């Protein structure tokens, strides 16, 4: 077909470097692609760590009166698990992909601020390291380290000196604070890159949806991480300088912490899920062989979600006793956010409708995402209704709901993204058979765990309990949930094995293995350090489609 | 068409670089991040750690500053040209032109305006009110009975009025029922107007038959939540009859309105009212078109 081509460079580096030279290159790099890979690699390590913590939690709960770990260790496990998965797994995954892909997709040679990019990554990485240094960094209350045990919300007054002596709460606060500064730096960089580094012809209306959604996500990071950082500094003032911001005994307010935390916490859900939307919005069209359905509406819906998501935070606080006006407001805003979200689901389905679907592994994960995100949204709407929330707040129903979102929607999309862009990053294809096995095992494990988990929640099982009495109807359900968790663990081990073996022995990917349409597929795999020998110019949303199909280019319709 | 440069074009282009400048690798961001983290880590361990962190952070700031001032450190990377094929691997299909007599969809050239739906809704509300009052007279001898039932939406289930109260006039309840009736009728009329283009040929079928059935079905399922008092007293046969009366009258009123051209086929610039000469050829011989 089309013979148009662009010139690219193979990396002009010699292969006979020592491992020390290689390490030095990676540690001092300011290249957005390497930093993106570092983010993803770092997230994968923490995914394993967080997964081990989840397994420990599930083993402890698999039967009544179990004592696999002590109550103190159990508290640390769920605290570390939540904090790790949110701040040191999902966010780095998203920043990693954004770092790697945004400049390539918009035809730029790097991010707007390459050194800030490196600084932000290292802050994030060191924040996570500091969190885990808590395990060995001090003897702690029980002589087994100072790992935080206050839950990932770290509600006041649990974080006050009276209830959290020592440094366990401080480790949580400072680790998240430091990584939060890193997140803000990355967000500033992404906003600047998207707004000012686009190649000629790439108007905002021609940007890949991935870049659009990254822009919205970065805006949300700027809006929501700042209050969390402020609250953490206030908490440090309370704990180190005798302040009383959250000390109810001295005129402070525990509810103030809740507001600060959730005004970060709920937009955070969208900070995590909007990049997942971005992955799906790139993968689904390519494997449906159709352009995205309703591009402007998708952009509008994402911007709407961004705005509405900052007005729903107190639906996490219905049980604290707000006024009926506040309850009504937050119920309404929560319901409203379902509208743009529903539009997005409709548009993804519209993209697939009538398309020539190819069920490759990335697409399978996106289809799983569509189904599970819908369910997660529906249970979210249920919990968004204040009277329903009063019954089930703090129960395993809520745990099931948000894991449906974090795992069923976001992690599924991350897996899809890794299968989709791994060939671009490494130049090798991931093994498709192992990928499909990974998908099916993970789907089975996921549904076994998180479908069933709704039921003990409805039966009254509170979250974060160390153990429970037998005969309450929870025993068998918890056993099934734990079995599902193990199946998910096996699936993830398969995935990691696939990553490693395919890196060394996978088939060569070529520059465009999926017949893609965005600019990253126009350069070699892996791309050269400068991305594009000449800055490209584009004239439609799918520049590679135009080159491949000169008889029917998108420019006829844009 | 997209204009990604071809290899040939690049060779011809005198500005195509033989080498590219990119930001030079540097350790200073890492030093600054490490120092910054240690400053905080000192709060958890020892003041000396914070001091070390501050020193590192300062060194990182100075090193970073010197990295970009007075001139940004960059390294030159040679460009090695290699052709990358950008071609689809999929089967290429022939595109057959669609015969002019085959059309994908029939779109009406004219339809009723949304305002017709609103007028129909208001007229229908009168018909519905007349029928409902007639029901009240026949059932209890009072026209206030259906009005009080409608207004009973404000009562808690524990405060259900007595039968005598249902048959007498209550100004506040009357006011509430009137507002509810008019607002709902206008909203239903608006919905009717918005749906009219889908049924442009037979508005009476939509208004007089389909909409009342759907509307009654919807209300049947949620009446006990919306208005428990009305739900417990309602006579569904009369209710349906009043819905049909509403729909038929609304449909008749709509049919008497003049149609307007549809705008679906117009270019976007015309739909938003931008003057764009040359977009549409002039009409010839009274040609009818959107």
User: How much is the pLDDT for A165?
Assistant: 87
Residue B212 belongs to a domain: yes
Inside any domain, residue B203:
yes
Mean per-residue pLDDT, A427-444? 97
Triad A128, A131, A133: Cα angle to 5°: 110
Distance from CA of A499 to the nearest CA of B (A): 25
Q: How many domains does chain B have?
A: 2
Among the ranges given (A1-10, A548-557, B75-84, B210-219), the one the predictor scored with the smallest mean pLDDT:
A1-10
- Whether residue B35 is found in the same domain as residue B127: no
Angle between helices A114-136 and B28-44 (to 10 degrees): 30
Q: Which residue of A has its CA nearest to B89?
A: A515
- Distance CA(B182)–CA(B176), nearest Å, equals 10
CATH superfamily of A30-556: Cytochrome c oxidase-like, subunit I domain (1.20.210.10)
Contact between chains at A534 and B16 (C-beta distance less than 8 A): yes
Q: How far is B180 from chain A (nearest CA, A)?
A: 21
The closest CB to that of B7, out of A5, A515, A546, belongs to A5
DSSP A240: H
Judging contacts by C-beta atoms under 8 Å, the chain A residues touching residue B92 are: 1
Q: Which of residues 88-107 of B touch A (CB under 8 A)?
A: 88-90, 92, 95
Report the pLDDT value the prediction gives residue B14, as an integer from 0 to 100. 41
What is the mean predicted confidence (pLDDT) over A317-326?
89
Q: What is the pLDDT of residue B16?
A: 53
A548–B34 CB contact, under 8 Å:
no
Q: Which residues of B touch A123 (CB under 8 A)?
A: 33, 36-37
At residue B286, the pLDDT reads 61
**Residue B224, in any domain of the structure:** yes
**Structural domain includes residue B160:** yes
Confirm or reject contact between B76 and chain A (CB < 8 A).
no
> Are B166 and B40 part of one and the same domain?
no
Mean of pLDDT values over A232-253? 93
Distance from CA of B11 to the nearest CA of A (A): 9
Q: Which residues of B touch A32 (CB under 8 A)?
A: none
B248 and B197 within one domain = yes
Pairing of strands B19-23, B82-85: unpaired
- Whether residue B266 lies inside any domain: the answer is no
Average pLDDT of the residues in A250-260 = 93
Instruction: Please report the residues numbered 16 through 55 in chain B whose beta carbons come closer than 8 angstroms to any beta carbon of chain A.
Output: 16-17, 20, 22-30, 32-34, 36-37, 40-41, 43-45
Q: Does A53 touch chain B (CB under 8 A)?
A: no
Distance from CA of B183 to the nearest CA of A (A): 21
Euclidean distance between CA atoms B218 and B196, whole angstroms: 20
CB-nearest partner of A178 from B13, B37, B84: B37
Contact B3 A515 (CB under 8 A): no
The whole-angstrom separation of Cα A203 and Cα A194 is 11
For residue B35, the chain A residue with the least C-alpha distance is A123
pLDDT score for B273: 65
Instruction: State whether A29 and B86 contact (CB < 8 Å).
Output: no
Residue B55 lies in a domain: yes
User: Structural domain boundaries of chain A?
Assistant: 30-556
Distance CA A77, CA A159 (A): 17
Q: Which residues of chain B have pLDDT under 50?
A: 1-3, 5-8, 10-15, 290
Mean pLDDT of A318-339: 90
Rounded to a whole number of angstroms, the distance from the CA of B93 to the nearest CA of chain A is 11
Interface contact A544-B86, CB threshold 8 A: yes
Best mutation target among B10, B13, B29 (most A Cβ atoms within 10 Å) is B29
Say if residue B68 is in the same domain as residue B115.
no
Contacts of A25 in chain B (CB under 8 A): 25
Does B82 contact A171 at a Cβ distance shorter than 8 Å?
no
Q: Same domain for B59 and B115?
A: no
ipTM over cut 0.90: yes
Closest chain A residue by Cα to residue B64: A115
Q: Are residues B58 and B128 in the same domain?
A: no
Q: What is the mean pLDDT of residues A344-353?
A: 94
Q: B34, A7: Cβ pair inside 8 Å?
A: no
For chain B, give the DSSP string: ---PPPHHHHHH-TTS-SEEEEEPP-SHHHHHHHHHHHHHHHHHS-HHHHHHHHHHHHHHHHHHHHHHSSS--EEEEE---EEEE----SPP-PPPPPPTT--S----SEE--HHHHHHHHHHHHHHHHHHHHHHHHHHHS-THHHHHHHHGGGS-GGGPPPHHHHTS--HHHHHHHHHHHHHHHHHHHHHHHHHGGGGTT-HHHIIIIIHHHHHHHHHHHHHHHH-HHHHHH--HHHHHHHHHHHHHHHHHHHHTSPPEE--TTS-HHHHTT---TTSSPPP-TT----
B2, B44, B78: residue with CB nearest A538: B2
CA distance A3 to A545: 13
Which residues of B are less than 8 Å from A4 in CB distance? 4, 6, 86-87
Q: pLDDT grade, residue A116 (50/70/90)?
A: very high
- The mean pLDDT of chain A is 92
- The long-range contacts involving B5-8, CB below 8 angstroms and separated by at least 24 positions, are B5/A6, B5/A7, B5/A534, B5/A536, B5/A537, B6/A4, B6/A5, B6/A6, B7/A5, B7/A6, B7/A7, B7/B81, B7/B83
Q: What is the pLDDT of residue B30?
A: 97
What pTM, to 2 d.p., does this model score? 0.79
Q: Is residue B217 part of a domain?
A: yes
Residue B33: give the domain boundaries: 19-78
Residues from chain B that touch A552, judged by Cβ atoms under 8 A, are: 95
B117 and B255 assigned to the same domain: yes
B2 contacts chain A (CB < 8 A): yes
Residue of chain B minimizing CA distance to A129: B37
A29 close contact with B: CB closer than 8 A: yes
Regarding whether B257 and B125 lie in a shared domain, the answer is yes
pLDDT at B274: 64
Which of A2, A6, A180 to mutate against chain B (most B CBs within 10 Å)? A6
| Cross-strand bridge partners of residue B77 | B20
The answer to whether residues B122 and B253 belong to one domain is yes
| Chain A residues whose beta carbon lies within 8 Å of the beta carbon of residue B26 | 28, 30, 115, 118
Encode pLDDT of A196-227 as tens digits.
999 999 999 999 999 999 999 999 999 999 99
B70 assigned to some structural domain: yes
Q: Are residues B119 and B168 in the same domain?
A: yes
Co-location of B67 and B161 in the same domain: no
């Amino acid at each position: 077909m089309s013979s148009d081509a662009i010139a690219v460079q193979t990396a002009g580096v010699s292969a006979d470097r020592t491992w020390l030279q290689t390490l030095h290159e990676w540690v001092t790099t300011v290249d957005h692609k390497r930093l993106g890979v570092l983010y993803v690699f770092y997230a994968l390590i923490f995914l394993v760590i967080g997964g081990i913590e989840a397994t420990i939690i599930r083993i402890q709960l698999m039967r009544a009166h179990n004592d696999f770990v002590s109550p103190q260790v159990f508290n640390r496990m769920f605290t570390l698990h939540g904090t790790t998965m949110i701040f040191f797994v999902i966010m780095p995954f998203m920043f990693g992909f954004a770092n790697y892909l945004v400049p390539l997709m918009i035809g730029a040679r790097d991010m707007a601020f390459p050194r800030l990019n490196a600084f932000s990554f290292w802050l994030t990485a060191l924040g996570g390291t500091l969190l885990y240094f808590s395990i060995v960094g001090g003897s702690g209350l029980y002589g087994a380290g100072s790992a935080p045990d206050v839950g990932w919300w770290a509600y006041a007054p649990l974080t006050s000196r009276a209830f959290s002596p020592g440094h366990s709460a401080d480790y949580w606060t400072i680790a998240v604070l430091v990584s939060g500064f890193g997140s803000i730096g990355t967000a500033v960089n992404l906003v600047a890159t998207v707004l000012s580094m686009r190649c000629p012809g790439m108007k905002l209306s021609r940007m890949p949806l991935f870049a659009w959604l990254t822009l919205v996500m970065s805006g949300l990071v700027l809006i929501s991480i700042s209050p969390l950082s402020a609250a953490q500094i206030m908490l440090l003032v309370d704990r180190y300088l005798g302040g009383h911001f959250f000390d109810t005994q001295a005129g402070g307010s525990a509810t103030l912490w809740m507001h600060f935390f959730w005004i970060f916490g709920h937009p955070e859900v969208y900070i995590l899920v909007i990049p997942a939307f971005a992955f799906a919005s790139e993968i689904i069209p390519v494997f449906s062989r159709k352009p995205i359905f309703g591009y402007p509406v998708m952009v509008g819906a994402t911007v709407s979600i961004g705005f509405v998501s900052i007005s729903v935070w107190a639906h996490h606080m219905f049980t604290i006793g707000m006024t009926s006006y506040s309850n009504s407001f937050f119920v309404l805003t929560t319901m409203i956010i379902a509208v743009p979200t529903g539009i997005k689901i409709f548009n993804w389905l519209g993209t697939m409708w009538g398309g020539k679907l190819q069920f490759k592994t990335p697409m399978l994960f996106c289809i799983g995402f569509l189904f599970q995100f819908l369910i997660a949204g529906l249970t979210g709407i249920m919990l968004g209704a204040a009277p329903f929330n009063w019954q089930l707040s703090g129960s395993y129903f809520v745990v099931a709901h948000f894991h449906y979102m974090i795992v069923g929607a976001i992690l599924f999309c991350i897996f899809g993204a890794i299968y989709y862009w791994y060939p671009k990053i490494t130049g090798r294809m991931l093994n498709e058979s192992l990928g499909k096995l990974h998908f099916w095992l993970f789907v089975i494990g996921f549904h076994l765990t998180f479908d069933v988990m709704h039921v003990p929640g409805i039966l009254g099982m509170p979250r974060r309990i160390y153990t429970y009495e037998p005969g309450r109807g929870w025993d068998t359900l918890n056993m099934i949930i734990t079995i599902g968790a193990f199946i998910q663990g096996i699936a993830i081990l398969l995935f990691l094995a696939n990553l490693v073996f395919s890196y060394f022995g996978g088939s060569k990917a070529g520059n465009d293995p999926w017949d893609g349409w965005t600019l990253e597929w126009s350069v070699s795999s892996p791309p050269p350090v400068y991305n594009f020998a000449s800055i490209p110019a584009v004239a439609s949303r799918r520049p590679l489609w135009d080159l491949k199909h000169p008889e029917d280019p998108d420019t006829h319709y844009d | 068409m997209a204009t990604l440069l071809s290899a040939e074009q690049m060779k011809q282009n005198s500005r195509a670089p033989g080498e590219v400048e990119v930001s030079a690798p540097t350790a200073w961001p890492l030093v600054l991040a490490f120092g910054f983290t240690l400053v905080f880590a000192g709060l958890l361990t020892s003041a000396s750690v914070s001091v070390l962190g501050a020193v590192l952070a300062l060194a990182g700031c100075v090193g970073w500053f010197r990295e970009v001032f007075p001139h940004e450190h960059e390294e030159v990377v040679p460009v090695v040209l290699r052709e990358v094929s950008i071609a689809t691997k999929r089967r290429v299909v022939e595109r057959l032109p669609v015969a002019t007599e085959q059309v994908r969809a029939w779109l009406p050239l004219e339809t009723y305006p949304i305002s017709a739906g609103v007028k129909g809704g208001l007229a229908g509300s009168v018909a519905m009110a007349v029928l409902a009052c007639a029901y009240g007279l026949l059932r209890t001898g009072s026209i206030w009975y259906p009005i009080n039932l409608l207004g009973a939406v404000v009562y808690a289930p524990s405060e259900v009025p007595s039968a005598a109260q249902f048959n007498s006039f209550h100004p506040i309840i009357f006011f509430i029922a009137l507002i509810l009736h008019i607002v709902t009728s206008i909203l239903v009329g608006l919905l009717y107007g918005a749906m009219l283009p889908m049924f442009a040929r037979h508005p009476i079928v939509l208004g007089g038959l389909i909409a009342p059935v759907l509307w009654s079905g919807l209300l049947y399922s949620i009446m006990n939540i919306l208005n428990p008092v009305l739900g417990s007293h309602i006579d569904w046969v009369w209710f349906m009859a009043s819905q049909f009366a509403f729909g038929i009258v609304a449909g008749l009123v709509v049919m008497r309105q003049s149609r307007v051209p549809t705008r679906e086929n117009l270019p976007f610039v015309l739909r938003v009212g931008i003057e764009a000469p040359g977009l549409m050829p002039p009409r010839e011989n009274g040609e009818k078109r959107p």
